[in-house]
Structure 1
């Protein structure tokens, strides 16, 4: 949630009243033939006259509106009388498929100095537009007349957070008019940030039969809901789990509960103990005793009669920054498109329903890519395809020509997709791993990639795909599956991926079914990218990457 403070400024503010709004003392020699407006001091209003075109004073304006803005406001600064126009601002938003349709959300009260505070919200991936309109109210006629408008993108609220930025006013036709607005976005609520944690344990109980311990940790909120689960460290009484990054906002009140379990060969978990701590009080070296039940009743026995089971904080570092802080530095986001061409997609010829749906989903990400990918050079790959006769598909192919490893923007992806279907043949298996490996090789700590995988959901899970999805968690990348096909395919894909996911790894995969968004594709990017900011922050925190502040 952010608040936008809007201040109105006009290009005539501060004009010299004696020069700019007084009639010339001497009539000029030129013949009058140009219709202009001037400020009549005696009448206290703007009136028309014929201007000769010679040099004179500044009391001549091309429109009544320019004259009123320039002279009535200046006069009002010198006198408390008159019919000066009060101004007010109207705040509207366009968040539907029609980018020209705006709905009003709020408006300010009329006054001499138009300054207003409006509240708005933003979720990563949203592309809605914000409209600020300025109106004047004549104190005598009470008529509302438009002064101008300015359109901003929702992402501007984040990019310019706590930084004033100016937008020139235009009329409804887009022509520039006198004046401007200054927008100052401020955060109403601040995220709690992220915490990088690493735990070890000592003196854990062991199984009676095998005298071994196979422990895991479950990090929970105060209400007991699990937020994160670590890997199982096999046959180890003093385990040290992989580092984890937690979102502070997922722990209301800052309370973290660490539950330790012993896991059997069948996956059955036996509760060992629990430690409760405040995130703000955690530091390296903190010992957290486990409040343990009677271990004998659970089929366990103490490994040491002298020491109590406990957790030790091996690493703890706060990351109070947001993704925008990193984007203001030398960190950048990039997008890559990986498209399924396998035969399970059916007819992909021009004009087919499946072809149109793929193209619509690609185009839905146009605005998001423009907002966040600075160079607009996008890798566009295909899998489940071959370039020549044969039975087996190639590991991956570039949709564009061989010498064009990247294409220019989403429009370039669409063109490459159309050309690729002309020269490529659908094939099997639909093995995704090699294409993901290629994108992973492009990713760097300062260049994070979001791989958008468009598929019908029928993938072949070879070892390379499973291995690549596991390795992706250690790379600067996220994988978003956009399932284009029958309803239920995304659930099957999500179930398959979850069953193969390794515990303790950074979550970097998100699955979205396109079907519910067919009639509102403008909302698809928001849902598809909802997990990306947290995934990015988890990667940066795990690798101790700080933002380079002050770099634009």
Structure 2
């Protein structure tokens, strides 16, 4: 199923400083200024922002910082430039001291900071780029609220009150974040404590007003309005530590009655905020993401020498398999220090006559690793020349192979320091032949640090894949149930533009299939009580 692509993984702040800039490099200019550029979807850098001018300082620490939304599933390319300038801040390429390019993913996986040479190789000048996490969206908030002296709405002089807590969405409209239980026949309700994420309550902004409305429940489904108040989480926190009450106001009654005071009061019994680690905390503190590629070599792909084949080796362009590998691999490699990608094939007859469902694309008998994405593509092309496309389409062997790697990390998770999480990318054109075995392999892997991404290519009916991508309920088979959802399936066909494979269609594919990975990693870390290692 499609995930919620392009949901913000975190909010980060970028800070810039320089050190050891030689006076001669400034070319008589008295100051420095830094510019941050962002690579847009049109394939060019655009200015994201610039710092203030710092005068008469060869080791400037710029005060201007740059809040930025971080998306794990996107390739966010940045360029940092430093210029020598006068007090006006006018920049010129002639006075460019140097620039540094990196992705936001690389910056975060490098413990959130990067120091790089500024200028020529002989220069001792450096630019230092630091990041801070802004996100409180994963915090858990425990709230308990009581009410007193609520307005009477029922015939016998009581009410059946409940609270509706609303936050504003991106369209500035109120949406319900939480609704309490109904307390029958009382004007002084004591609602149960509840836990809600900071994102659901206020999108992590503790100063943002939320609306708490009180209603009287009615059997016909049309509640009577009692009153409301506007309050922030910060104010709820302060109220819980004092005798401050929240006044429920009914504007219609207030406008009609001169002596109107309120329609009841709310007492904040408890408002506790429990910070939760977020995905970035793990990435910045040592967690590695290792990507293994699994490629379908079954005969249904067609003869690789024919242009209609999904495996066609076009000298001028990438085929659909190559596009999928590059799109996903380009993102994952930012979080893997050695940039080595295990690459396996399935459904092929080898030169020995053996039909294999987990052979190494590089031809090695004991090491499936390829050097970077380019190494994977080269091994893939080599395999097309050395094996016969055959069948059937068996997934379980490769899933079991990667599970063994994940098992090593799972046996001693401890902390996120040097911890490896496995992503298996399976690219296939057909329906899985060993579905029962695959279900059992997925269920077994669900308790391991591992996610499985399946990209369907071609025009096959992939409906059966939805059994594995269990968004609605956890995968079950023969009395066994998965511990969590680790499979994401997407059809590449849905991302083609006018039926063609384009650069942008591959980018959109990566965004879709990788969007759920941060959530899946967090689920595993919480399941195993793995905390980000702050000592590294």
TM-score (norm 1): 0.58
2:475 maps to 501
Report 1:526-537 matches (<5 A).
526-537=511-522
Q: Measured at CA, do residues 250 and 136 of structure 1 come closer, stay the same or move farther in structure 2, by a change above 3 Å?
A: closer
Q: Measured at CA, do residues 194 and 381 of structure 1 come closer, stay the same or move farther in structure 2, by a change above 3 Å?
A: farther
- The DSSP-based 3-state class of the residue aligned with 2:440 is helix
Matched, 1:398 2:376: no
2:314 maps to none
- Measure the CA separation in 2 of the matches of 1:92 and 1:108: 12
Displacement of 1:383 in angstroms is 1.7
2:243 maps to none
- Measure the CA separation in 2 of the matches of 1:120 and 1:253: 19
Deviations 1:343-371 (A, max 9, x none): 22223338665222212322334433432
- Measure the CA separation in 2 of the matches of 1:416 and 1:407: 10
Matched, 1:92 2:42: no
Match of 2:436 among 463, 466, 471: 463
Matched, 1:68 2:28: yes
Instruction: Indicate if the aligned counterparts of 2:33 and 2:51 stay in contact, CA closer than 8 A.
Output: yes
- Measure the CA separation in 1 of the matches of 2:69 and 2:202: 23
- The DSSP-based 3-state class of the residue aligned with 1:68 is coil
Deviations 1:118-141 (A, max 9, x none): 222211143222112233444699
Q: Measured at CA, do residues 158 and 386 of structure 1 come closer, stay the same or move farther in structure 2, by a change above 3 Å?
A: same
Displacement of 1:419 in angstroms is 2.2
Q: Measured at CA, do residues 378 and 182 of structure 1 come closer, stay the same or move farther in structure 2, by a change above 3 Å?
A: closer
Displacement of 1:423 in angstroms is 2.6
- Measure the CA separation in 1 of the matches of 2:387 and 2:334: 31
Instruction: Indicate if the aligned counterparts of 1:133 and 1:150 stay in contact, CA closer than 8 A.
Output: yes
Displacement of 1:117 in angstroms is 1.2
Instruction: Indicate if the aligned counterparts of 1:380 and 1:405 stay in contact, CA closer than 8 A.
Output: no
Q: Measured at CA, do residues 387 and 152 of structure 1 come closer, stay the same or move farther in structure 2, by a change above 3 Å?
A: closer
Match of 2:108 among 148, 153, 158: 158
2:523 maps to 538
Deviations 1:285-313 (A, max 9, x none): xxxxxxxxxxxxxxxxxxxxxxxxxxxxx
1:294 maps to none
Instruction: Indicate if the aligned counterparts of 1:433 and 1:464 stay in contact, CA closer than 8 A.
Output: yes
Q: Measured at CA, do residues 542 and 485 of structure 1 come closer, stay the same or move farther in structure 2, by a change above 3 Å?
A: same
Unaligned runs of 5+ in 2: 1-10, 142-166, 168-174, 179-194, 204-232, 238-273, 312-318, 411-418
Displacement of 1:481 in angstroms is 0.8
- Measure the CA separation in 2 of the matches of 1:405 and 1:544: 32
2:131 maps to 185
How many pairs were matched up?
376
Q: Measured at CA, do residues 457 and 176 of structure 1 come closer, stay the same or move farther in structure 2, by a change above 3 Å?
A: farther
Deviations 1:441-473 (A, max 9, x none): 111224321100011243224321121122221
Q: Measured at CA, do residues 526 and 467 of structure 1 come closer, stay the same or move farther in structure 2, by a change above 3 Å?
A: same
TM-score (norm 2): 0.60
Displacement of 1:389 in angstroms is 8.6
- Measure the CA separation in 2 of the matches of 1:247 and 1:425: 55
Match of 2:369 among 400, 407, 410: 407
Instruction: Indicate if the aligned counterparts of 2:35 and 2:51 stay in contact, CA closer than 8 A.
Output: yes
Deviations 1:92-121 (A, max 9, x none): 1114474xx211122334452654212222
Displacement of 1:492 in angstroms is 5.7
Deviations 1:385-444 (A, max 9, x none): 222697x94443222324243222322322222222223222232121121111111112
Instruction: Indicate if the aligned counterparts of 1:194 and 1:538 stay in contact, CA closer than 8 A.
Output: no
Match of 2:299 among 330, 340, 343: 343
Instruction: Indicate if the aligned counterparts of 1:8 and 1:115 stay in contact, CA closer than 8 A.
Output: no
Matched, 1:440 2:413: no
Matched, 1:167 2:116: yes
Displacement of 1:193 in angstroms is 5.3
Matched, 1:359 2:309: no
Matched, 1:104 2:47: yes
Displacement of 1:327 in angstroms is 4.2
Q: Measured at CA, do residues 352 and 319 of structure 1 come closer, stay the same or move farther in structure 2, by a change above 3 Å?
A: farther
- Measure the CA separation in 2 of the matches of 1:224 and 1:189: 19
Report 1:214-233 matches (<5 A).
223=176
- The DSSP-based 3-state class of the residue aligned with 1:116 is coil
Deviations 1:35-68 (A, max 9, x none): xxxxxxxxxxxxxxxxxxxxxxxxxx6xxx5441
Unaligned runs of 5+ in 1: 14-60, 74-85, 196-220, 226-245, 255-277, 282-317
Q: Measured at CA, do residues 140 and 541 of structure 1 come closer, stay the same or move farther in structure 2, by a change above 3 Å?
A: closer
- Measure the CA separation in 1 of the matches of 2:199 and 2:430: 31
Deviates more, 1:439-448 or 1:343-352: 343-352
1:128 maps to 76
Q: Measured at CA, do residues 179 and 535 of structure 1 come closer, stay the same or move farther in structure 2, by a change above 3 Å?
A: same
Deviations 1:205-234 (A, max 9, x none): xxxxxxxxxxxxxxxx99589xxxxxxxxx
Deviations 1:134-181 (A, max 9, x none): 3344469977453322223212442356x65433323xxx77767433
Point out the structure with max Rg over C-alpha.
1
1:5 maps to 15
Instruction: Indicate if the aligned counterparts of 1:344 and 1:458 stay in contact, CA closer than 8 A.
Output: no
- Measure the CA separation in 1 of the matches of 2:196 and 2:292: 26
